[in-house]
Every structure is written in C-alpha cells, then in structure tokens.
Amino acid sequence: AQSVTQLDSHVSVSEGTPVLLRCNYSSSYSPSLFWYVQHPNKGLQLLLKYTSAATLVKGINGFEAEFKKSETSFHLTKPSAHMSDAAEYFCVVTSNQAGTALIFGKGTTLSVSS
Amino acid sequence: GAVVSQHPSRVICKSGTSVKIECRSLDFQATTMFWYRQFPKQSLMLMATSNEGSKATYEQGVEKDKFLINHASLTLSTLTVTSAHPEDSSFYICSARDLAGVRETQYFGPGTRLLVL
C-alpha cells in the first residue's frame, strides 16, 4: 500500500537560513510524489512534483526536492527561508498507478522567525 | 493556472439540517473531482472520488448516504452533508483533475468550513 511519512510535525527556522522538510514514502511501484503548501485560510498550492523524470525537482518560490529511491525519501529544501514561507506543508503520493487519487502525509508546520 | 472554487467558504447550520457545498473548475474541464475532509491540525483524508455522469466512489468508512455527491457536469461537483451533526463539523476541500493536463496533477479549492451546532 502507498503511504507517506512526514518525519517532523513542526520545523522552526530563522529567516535567511535553509529549510529542510523531511518525507519518506512507501510504494509498491514507481510513485508520483508531490509537495503541497497550505497557507491559513487559503487553498492548497502545488509546490512541485516528481513523476519519474529528473530526480531533482525544482518548484515554485525557490523550493526543490530530490527523489531518492534507495532511501525512499523526497525531502523538500530551500536555501534561504522567507517569512512568507511560514505555512503547512504536505508530502503527497499517488494512491495507485493510474494516479487517480492522492494520499497526504500528516503535514509539517513551518515557522519562520525574524 | 487552473482555478477551482468552492461555495460557500464557511457555513454554520443547526444539527439535523442538510448542507450543500459546490466545487467548480473555473477554467478547465474536470471529469474527475475529489472530496477531502480535514480536521484541525490534521491531514487531508480522501472521502470520495466524483466522476462526471456516474456514481461517486467512496473510501472505506465514508457513509455514501450521509455524504451525497453529484457530478452533473464537467465543471461542477456538489457534496451534500445530510442531517448534519456536530461531529460532521470539519473543513471540506475539493480538488479537480484537468482533463487536458497531466493526469497526476490535482487543483484544489480553497475549502469550506462547516460548523454544525
């Protein structure tokens, strides 16, 4: 069965420092993986996605993630945090090979201090 | 980019009443829409998959008679919470897949916050 585990429920960083949000996945086939961000009172926004192309995926707002099959990981990184990055982040995997539904991780709350 | 809207954004109702939530894809056609539920401080849980012109597919544990889904057109799906009770209070989010786009990509609505008194 497909699943994702976000290893940290809460990450706190200072503005200008690097961000690392960790995600491990379990899949019986080559998965499609995503990172979504949810700001308070706003809809989910797709940051980036991996669909069996390049293992290093670049997304919006300076975020990127690397698919590592050997480690079953898809960690999200950003070199320098901005105050506006404070939000809830979800690591997501497709629930089946057809990609028809998504399974969400429990989420990581990112706090950014000045 | 693709936009999905939901209406209403917030609703408060009395216990026992029914509430309808609309999900619309504004600038693309969606044969498949999804309904999620999100409890406070928790992740999104898929409730059902809504297919245009056919019956919805419900996830295990979701009562289909309680959460009625209708997907009458390529741009509209509705979720009706029937005889709502306080435990149905939650944040309901829909998403839609672009018929012409990458199949794995879903676009999410802003969500509807339901409070049942």
Q: Kindly report the number of other CB atoms within 10 A of residue B110's CB atom.
A: 17
Q: What's residue B6's pLDDT?
A: 95
- Cα(A97)–Cα(A86) distance, integer angstroms: 32
Q: What's residue A51's pLDDT?
A: 82
Assess contact for A81 and A16: CB atoms under 8 A: yes
Instruction: For residue A92, give the H/E element and its range.
Output: strand A87-94
Nearest CA to CA, how far is B16 from chain A (Å)? 27
With CA atoms as reference, the chain A residue closest to B95 would be: A44
Residues in A touching B104 (Cβ below 8 Å): 32, 34, 49, 51, 94, 99
Nearest CA to CA, how far is B89 from chain A (Å)? 16
pLDDT < 70 positions in chain A: 97-100
- Cα(A64)–Cα(A47) distance, integer angstroms: 8
- pLDDT tens figures, A2-24: 889 999 999 999 999 999 999 99
pLDDT by position in tens, chain B (length 117): 678 999 999 999 999 999 999 999 998 888 889 999 998 878 899 999 988 888 899 999 999 999 999 998 889 999 999 999 999 999 999 999 876 655 567 889 999 999 999
Q: Which of A46, A104, A107 sits opposite B105 (nearest CB)?
A: A46
Put simply, whether A22 touches B (Cβ < 8 Å) is no
**Residue of B82, B76, B80, B91 lying closest to B33 (CA atoms):** B76
Nearest CA to CA, how far is B43 from chain A (Å)? 5
Q: What's residue A98's pLDDT?
A: 64
Tokens of A29: 């086939």
Q: Which of A49, A101, A107 sits opposite B105 (nearest CB)?
A: A49
